[in-house]
Structure 1
């Protein structure tokens, strides 16, 4: 009984570590987009520096998972908890990379006048961050309904990305001087679209954790 209780505590600590990492990633994404919108080079630099901490969180969680597998030899649902933990930490680390990439672009553009007010990109960021928050909530509470809603929301982010792409392409066609910045903004939108994809992955892994069945929404 004591051994099982300790094991359950370790599994819960693993889930809480993933939640902590997820919150750190959400903050990085928010700061990265804000650094772009405000053209704040200092904030962009802090986001880039913070990437190392997110990478270390991934390493620590992976190590924890490996120790649990080696020591406990888990089966069935316990193994799914650890396996999904490994998958989710990879998605979170890649989101952190996208925050870094956005911050790097923000740093490059810090002294340039924007070719257009940023409206859809911050909206994409808000939607992607909400998807991440909801995916993490679904994971912690094992809420399949919320996880499935995250999967459905991905289509809306995709639609905004395509809208941003078409609009910026028009800018480039009408004025070649906008090509460099418009291309950078397309990359930002693409990174945010990928953040939404990773949030969807987390939701799908949560569904697998609860049901034992893989369900692909896309």
Structure 2
């Protein structure tokens, strides 16, 4: 498998944080999003940001920004489709997605997703821990983008419902800690600062 393209999913509405872009909130010496970029960029061939609205607010990141092709905030699957469409234009076979509000995900996320897919001979691989699946962290083939487009057009919105229909595998990340801790509330942001100071 060629090295996949990385797609950071930042298309949510952040209602529990009062709206706006959670990824641009300060964390340590940077932002939540800068920590996500620092972790994902070394693992992928290229990086793109999925976000809706005016892309100019992300200009300082120097990344391509692609919006959902569906109106009305259709959820993570719409962002995954946007990433797949962008990757197809760049000649990439696969993408790996990561959530823009999850700054401490594993630095070996991509190779472990790829390995799980090879072992299980599965087209899609989702990250998982003992707490359950983390479906915004996954390996997705560009070849399934039209199938996903049709599913979204038919009203499907739940990631796992679509992935199960394609026999998705799981890559287990049970190395301790909370690798997929995500920032949803102001209290979560305080906890993220504590985790960062603790060397997470």
TM > 0.5 between the two? no
Q: Which entry has the higher C-alpha Rg, 1 or 2?
A: 1
Q: TM-score, normalised on structure 2?
A: 0.28
Normalized against structure 1, the TM-score is what? 0.27
**Higher strand content, 1 or 2:** 2
Structure in which a larger fraction of residues adopt helix? 1
